[in-house]
Chain A
């Protein structure tokens, strides 16, 4: 059995799965249920000046009958009185001292407000603070949330205010609503932040009700941009995570990975790309806290199979495997092969290749089943056929190198090699 214990900036938890700052961590009752289910920690929903929420808050992107492939919300920070939140945090800490308790903060935009809030939160005995520089809706209009995260100078200044007084670890949560997450991350680190978490939600409109013509979620006939999350945002989050994990200036900083994590595989991917732990929200909101069982179990089994005894054994291992395009090996060449015994004759590979790719699949029509084979000379090895094939391992991509030598684009151009190989 692998050891799933996590130590993030000295904040210990029995596993690397924290619930992200969001509705599931808004109240004692929710958090107790989460800890009973086995979650390693929580980031308590953002505290600040009390706000008022609207009704009709979430909407989703459904795809081919699968609900909530993407999810969005227009909720603000905690709308409960600060005192109640603080009291409940303290009570939870007493009941579950072994779990991580980090509190998300978004104070008004002045040093005094931040200092007062931090002091009150530290008094609860919480283990860490997460600065919400990412919330893309509602708070932005008040000059908070993503408005701070989008401006590195302001972000750095606020982090400096925080670090003047904070005695427990500080994590800065970054917004993805920027062209690059790197400047914000550098600003936070320069301001003194101990760690980074990302991504927060992405501004979005999930869809429109085609009867009423009102976008979702409908608040009395109007809508606003919401914060997008769920499985659909994972690839974007992984890219932003990698851009920080690879950056010379900040790559040593511990990162808490967030963005569409639904299964243990997602979690492993975030950690392989440099996250020391992960935060989950949408998956729990869609399926309940019980998902923690398989998150831990699946990760554990995978670690056992791979021979990793602790999570530190594999954090960041895939980071060096992301390179620049011009360093890719042009002599590497793969060609699709269809296993005729496994083929179910659906023709999806053929039509994908024929209509939108390189016309590299030969069709022999039959009644009712056609036979499909690869034209090896035409195949560019794009993977499309393999992606659309409904049978695992029916289509494999076989390596047929153009040459043994590693040859990248820069060298290719230097040697004046011919471009057109069609």
Chain B
């Protein structure tokens, strides 16, 4: 049986403290801001899914116009504060920074973005004011990044928005699905409160679509509906032993970490994590930080094809996680219903598949690991039944949309993970903005 409470209070605090500490001094932020070249048609902005005008907001920090800086960020991305903590900036804005060509450290855009947006939150700057109510009502399902971004953009234009959220808190995966050392629950709450301080957005918590509310009902009671319902649990491995005690899905595992005291979370001594995406890394590093002795990440391709970034991989490496490349789950072996061994196929790379990456092929050889916990993090499954029951056109449960979030149902819009199957928070924010644009067009506003 795997156990909880493996560490002391101090160890938990240390292990889960902020991995990217903020600027402690205004001068430090100014020094970094002044390094920025303020590029024209800036590559950083071009690689930001929400197109934040990075050179402008950095210039505003350097000129001492922090309020203007926060507004530049939040106008483009209302979750700019959270994104500054969870964005894989190494493949987005910072990865595009022209300083990379000089082998010079890129501008610490995320840290500067955090600086301005946290100041705005801390000082409760009122950067936006909504237009007078137009008497139009829109329902948003899901208070994750897509839903919140959509709701905020709509309310700004005078739409009365109601958000239905199945959990007791808003924030979606930001709150429940990323490593605790990136964002705290407290921060998520403050960010949501700041977004909602605009007014015009009513929250209905603990209301799940398909259970407490139906799409038909929403279509009837509102002028338009936005679905930002995200994706569900981790994909099943479909191998023997998956129901053994000690096999957990990464989303639930992280959800538990985010909703309980660290000391309450059970973690194995020898943990295998399947997958090499951001969620797999978050599950592996947090297992280690909860006190697991050995954590091994298993991926069916090589390091070259990994979905996570090098920076994420480095976090796992520094946490002491081990990696087995070219290995695919074959069987989980138990004893008395409890995980004991994890058997994998050794793989090799064949011809490129639809993703353009070389497909893993079984070699016929196997190996096994002694483990007491297996965490599944090989992608998440869309809410297929929910989507199909609502007659939404979809592809394996991922809702089909046209430009600006239009679904096949009139007045029903969608965006975020529910559409793309699971991307970054910043992608979901843009999808929410697009949805709001579609809704405003639909309502002739």
Contact = CB atoms under 8 A, between A and B. Distances in A.
B37 A348 contact: yes
B34 A347 contact: no
Nearest to A354: B40
Interface stretch (A32-40, A366-374, A409-417): A366-374
A363 B40 CA distance: 11
Interface in B263-308: none
B40 A347 contact: yes
B358 interface: no
Nearest to A370: B41
A367 B43 CA distance: 7
B96 interface: yes
A350 B40 CA distance: 8
A47 to B, nearest CB: 40
A390 B37 contact: yes
B40 A346 contact: yes
A208 to B, nearest CB: 14
Interface string A319-349: 0000000000000000000000000111110
A347 B39 contact: yes
Interface string B42-55: 11101100000000
B369 interface: no
B218 interface: no
A347 B96 CA distance: 13
Given A64-B62, A65-B62, A368-B96, A345 B43 contact: yes
Contacts of B44: 368
Contacts of A363: 41
Contacts of B98: 344-346
A65 B31 contact: yes
A348 B37 CA distance: 8
A365 B31 contact: no
B41 A344 contact: no
Contacts of A345: 39, 43, 98, 101
A384 interface: no
Contacts of B34: 64-66
A64 B42 CA distance: 20
Contact of B46 (A346, A350, A368, A391): A368
A391 B37 CA distance: 11
A346 B39 contact: yes
A93 interface: no
B318 interface: no
Nearest to B92: A368
A348 B40 contact: yes
B30 A369 contact: no
A224 interface: no
Nearest to A388: B37
Contacts of A391: 102
Nearest to A346: B39
Interface residues of B, number: 20
Contacts, number: 45
Nearest to A355: B40
A24 B101 CA distance: 44
B147 to A, nearest CB: 28
B41 A65 contact: no
A367 B46 contact: yes
Most buried by A among B42, B43, B99: B43
Nearest to B48: A368
A390 B104 CA distance: 12
Contact of A368 (B30, B31, B37, B43): B43
Contacts of B46: 367-368
A365 B41 contact: yes
A351 interface: yes
B290 to A, nearest CB: 38
Contacts of B99: 344
Interface in A57-95: 64-66
A347 B30 contact: no
Interface in A362-403: 363, 365, 367-370, 390-391
Nearest to B43: A368
Interface string B18-44: 000000000000110110011111111
A344 B33 CA distance: 19
A346 B31 contact: no
A63 B42 CA distance: 23
Nearest to A343: B101
Contacts of A348: 37-40
Interface string A95-129: 00000000000000000000000000000000000
B47 A65 contact: no
A115 B98 CA distance: 65
A351 B101 contact: no
A64 B43 CA distance: 22
Most buried by B among A64, A351, A367, A368: A368
A347 B41 contact: yes
A21 to B, nearest CB: 33
Interface in B81-133: 96, 98-99, 101-102
Contacts of B39: 345-348
Nearest to B33: A65
Contacts of A66: 34
Interface of A: 64-66, 344-348, 350-351, 363, 365, 367-370, 390-391
Instruction: Please list the 7 inter-chain residue pairs (A to B) with the smallest Cβ-Cβ separation, ordered nearest first.
Output: A347-B40, A368-B43, A65-B34, A351-B40, A344-B101, A368-B46, A344-B98
Given A346-B37, A348-B38, 7 more contacts: A345-B101, A348-B39, A363-B41, A368-B43, A368-B46, A368-B47, A369-B96
28 contacts: A65-B30, A65-B31, A65-B34, A66-B34, A344-B98, A344-B99, A344-B102, A345-B39, A345-B43, A345-B98, A346-B37, A346-B40, A346-B98, A347-B40, A348-B37, A348-B38, A348-B39, A348-B40, A350-B40, A351-B40, A367-B46, A368-B43, A368-B44, A368-B46, A368-B96, A369-B43, A370-B41, A391-B102
